[in-house]
Amino acid sequence: MAALRPLVKPKMVKKRTKKFIWHQSDRYVKIKRNWRKTQSNKKTKHMLPSGFRKFLVHNFKELEVLLMCNKSYCTEIAHNVSSKNRKAIVERAAQLAIRVTNPNARLGSEENE
């Protein structure tokens, strides 16, 4: 199967890379150094470098939500999902052409001693 790609992948532009420093904060103790938190571009907010947005999946049925949105959202399997259910989620995601960000988590083979 070919690699799944997003429908659109806009270029992520950092509005400001330098820190905001309050004017004369070095001169007075009462003026704190930090000023405000920067806001990102709304089109690329919460977007992964791959171009997808992340959707957390806890069980098998939650994959059906992404059936129509598989070109803009990818799934991430929650940390408390068992390895048996992870395997089923990864297989179902492959059938629905949904990208999984952590498909190999907890699926490694264990050696019996």
- DSSP, residue by residue, 49-88: TTS-EEEEE-SGGGGGGGGS-TTTEEEEE-TT--HHHHHH
Residue 111 has pLDDT above 60, yes or no: no
Residue 15 belongs to some domain of the structure: no
Residue 106 has pLDDT above 70, yes or no: yes
Q: Which has more confidence, 20 or 69?
A: 69
Q: Are 77 and 57 in contact (CB under 8 A)?
A: yes
Q: How far apart are CA 75 and CA 52, in angstroms?
A: 9
Residue 85 belongs to some domain of the structure: yes
Does the pTM surpass 0.85? The reply is no
The token duo for 99 is 């990208």
Residue 55 belongs to some domain of the structure: yes
Residue 12 belongs to some domain of the structure: no
| Sequence letter at residue 88 | A
Residue 84 belongs to some domain of the structure: yes
Q: State the residue range of the domain holding 90.
A: 41-104
- The band of 99, judged by pLDDT with boundaries at 50, 70 and 90, is very high
**Number of domains present in the structure of the chain:** 1
Q: What is the pLDDT of residue 9?
A: 86
Q: How far apart are CA 93 and CA 90, in angstroms?
A: 5
What are 39-95's pLDDT values in tens digits? 788 888 999 999 999 999 999 899 999 999 999 999 999 999 999 999 999 999 999
DSSP type of residue 30: S
